[in-house]
């Protein structure tokens, strides 16, 4: 069986491991636009800031591909998928496949901004982006990051760590509008402010003033002007679905897959940030671009490709992040409180915040600031759709743990091998 994987990040990685675990004789080929060894995009901000050495960024040892007997075509771009012929084209060459996995991840969304076409700006998605940004920091003083999502803030923090003055501009009213609710994003905004990062929420860049191809100032919609000699656009990431679309595979926002990670085309699978499958809390299909989802989808796709029929149970939006010494972990939908019972615990001096939203006995959103020990148990409660009504009053306790769960659930978790 000849497996071809387009992409070389988390989904691809776990797919490779799953295929190899199932089928020792399978041929596996990885084709990736990026030339590097498999690395983590989530690590680039730490590398940018010089907080970690470059080897920390790579997900597996240097001999990984050799051990897994994977043929690599790194630094090659797939231009077209030919579903009927069961081949993919990379420029002149055709690579045949028996099974194909599209794990192309996401690509940055760059909004049309006034003056953007005249300047050199940076994205912050790939390792290459980080290296370019690092080089560009030389001699620069004022960084402006458009977008206060996870990527934007991580970039901002890294730049600040390197000594630049940093301003973050975000259209929504709060930072991290997708992952956090109002209270927790206020805590994070304060941490950022304490670090010396200027945060402009409810605002956007109306005009970029430049000179000689480099930005000098940004005019904000709110009226002010901020100095800018380094511009990073981190507004959002879109699933990278062009190849699939061009090949006639069903796409929505992402590539549509079923519970076996199969796309609408025969023998073609998709996994990771480029795919969309059902989300557990709502049942709606949507892309959930987080690492555990990508890894699991990649693994499931790999098993299915290798002949082992495995089902993917659905994705849960999960986030873990840390800014200025405050850790936050969130699950599900933390802002949607309609028709839900909201349990909250707040300890402002210690920056502790814990909120759980329960609808029809099931947790639909949970968020933990600072007090994150054993938060993963909530993941279990949400993924298995466990009715938490019998022990709901214990959910906010810092001592909440498996002892509060019903005995059968606990027995299932701890008396059987997992």
Residues near another protein, by CB under 8 A: 14, 40, 42-43, 46, 49, 51-52, 56-60, 161, 291-292, 295-296, 299, 318-320, 322, 324-327, 329, 331, 347, 350, 352, 370-377, 379-380, 383, 394, 398-399, 401-404, 410, 413-418
Smallest gap from Cβ 402 to another protein, in A, equals 5
The nearer residue to another protein, 81 or 294, going by C-beta atoms, is 294
- Angstrom CA distances, 297 to 33, 244, 316, 385, stand at 21, 17, 12, 20
The nearer residue to another protein, 299 or 363, going by C-beta atoms, is 299
The nearer residue to another protein, 95 or 330, going by C-beta atoms, is 330
Smallest gap from Cβ 207 to another protein, in A, equals 35
- Which tokens go with 239? 């699933």
The nearer residue to another protein, 122 or 379, going by C-beta atoms, is 379
Phi, psi of 364, deg, nearest 5: -110, -15
HEC sequence for 300-367: HHHHHHCCCCCCCCCECCEEEEEECCEEEEEEECCCCCCCCEEEEEEEHHHCEEEEEEEECCEEEEEE
Smallest gap from Cβ 121 to another protein, in A, equals 26
The nearer residue to another protein, 342 or 403, going by C-beta atoms, is 403
Q: How many CB atoms lie within 10 A of CB 202?
A: 12
Q: In what order do the strands lie in the sheet with 80-82?
A: 80-82, 87-90, 93-96
The nearer residue to another protein, 195 or 206, going by C-beta atoms, is 195
Phi, psi of 41, deg, nearest 5: -65, -25
Smallest gap from Cβ 173 to another protein, in A, equals 25
Smallest gap from Cβ 378 to another protein, in A, equals 9
The nearer residue to another protein, 54 or 94, going by C-beta atoms, is 54
- Alpha-carbon radius of gyration of the chain: 23
Exposed (0-12), middle (13-18) or buried (19+): which is 230, by Cβ within 10 Å? buried
Query: How long a stretch of residues is the chain?
Result: 418
Smallest gap from Cβ 322 to another protein, in A, equals 7
Smallest gap from Cβ 36 to another protein, in A, equals 13
SS3 content of the chain, % helix, strand, coil (to 5): 30, 30, 40
Smallest gap from Cβ 379 to another protein, in A, equals 5
The nearer residue to another protein, 269 or 331, going by C-beta atoms, is 331
The nearer residue to another protein, 95 or 187, going by C-beta atoms, is 187
CA angle 239, 38, 147 (to 5 degrees): 40
Q: How many CB atoms lie within 10 A of CB 10?
A: 28
Smallest gap from Cβ 342 to another protein, in A, equals 20
As a whole number of angstroms, the distance between CA 322 and CA 213 comes to: 35
């Amino acid at each position: 069986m000849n497996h071809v994987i387009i992409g070389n990040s988390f989904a691809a990685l776990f797919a490779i491991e799953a295929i190899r675990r199932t089928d020792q004789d399978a041929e596996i080929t990885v084709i990736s636009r990026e030339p590097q060894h498999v690395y983590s995009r989530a690590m680039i901000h730490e590398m940018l800031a010089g907080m970690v050495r470059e080897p920390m960024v790579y997900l597996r040892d240097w001999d990984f591909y050799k051990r897994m007997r994977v043929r690599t075509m790194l630094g090659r771009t797939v231009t077209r998928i030919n579903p009927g012929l069961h081949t993919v084209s990379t420029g002149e060459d055709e690579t045949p496949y028996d099974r194909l996995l599209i794990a192309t991840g996401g690509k940055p969304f760059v909004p049309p901004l006034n003056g953007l076409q005249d300047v050199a700006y940076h994205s912050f998605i790939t390792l290459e982006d980080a290296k370019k940004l690092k080089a560009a920091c030389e001699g620069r003083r004022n960084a402006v990051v458009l977008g206060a999502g996870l990527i934007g803030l991580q970039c901002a923090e890294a730049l600040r760590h390197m000594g630049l003055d940093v301003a973050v501009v975000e259209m929504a009213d709060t930072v991290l509008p997708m992952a956090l609710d109002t209270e927790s994003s206020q805590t994070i905004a304060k941490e950022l402010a304490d670090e010396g990062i200027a945060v402009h929420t409810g605002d956007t860049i109306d005009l970029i003033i430049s000179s000689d191809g480099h930005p000098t100032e940004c005019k904000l919609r709110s009226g002010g002007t901020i100095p800018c000699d380094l511009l990073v656009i981190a507004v959002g990431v879109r699933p990278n679905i062009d190849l699939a679309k061009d090949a006639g595979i069903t796409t929505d926002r992402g590539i549509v897959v079923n519970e076996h990670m199969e796309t609408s085309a025969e023998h073609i699978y998709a996994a990771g940030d480029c795919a969309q499958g059902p989300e557990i809390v709502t049942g709606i299909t949507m892309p959930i671009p987080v690492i555990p989802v990508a890894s699991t989808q990649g693994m499931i796709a790999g098993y299915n490709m290798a002949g082992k029929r495995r089902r993917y149970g659905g994705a849960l939006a999960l986030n873990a992040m840390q800014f200025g010494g405050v850790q936050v972990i969130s699950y599900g939908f933390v802002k949607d409180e309609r028709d839900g019972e909201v349990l909250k615990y707040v300890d402002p001096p210690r920056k502790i915040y814990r909120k759980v939203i329960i609808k029809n006995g099931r947790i639909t959103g949970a968020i933990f600031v600072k007090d994150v020990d054993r938060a993963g148990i909530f993941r279990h409660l949400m993924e298995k759709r466990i009715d938490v009504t019998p022990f709901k009053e214990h959910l906010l306790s810092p001592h909440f743990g498996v002892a509060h769960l019903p005995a059968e659930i606990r027995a299932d978790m701890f008396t059987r091998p997992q």
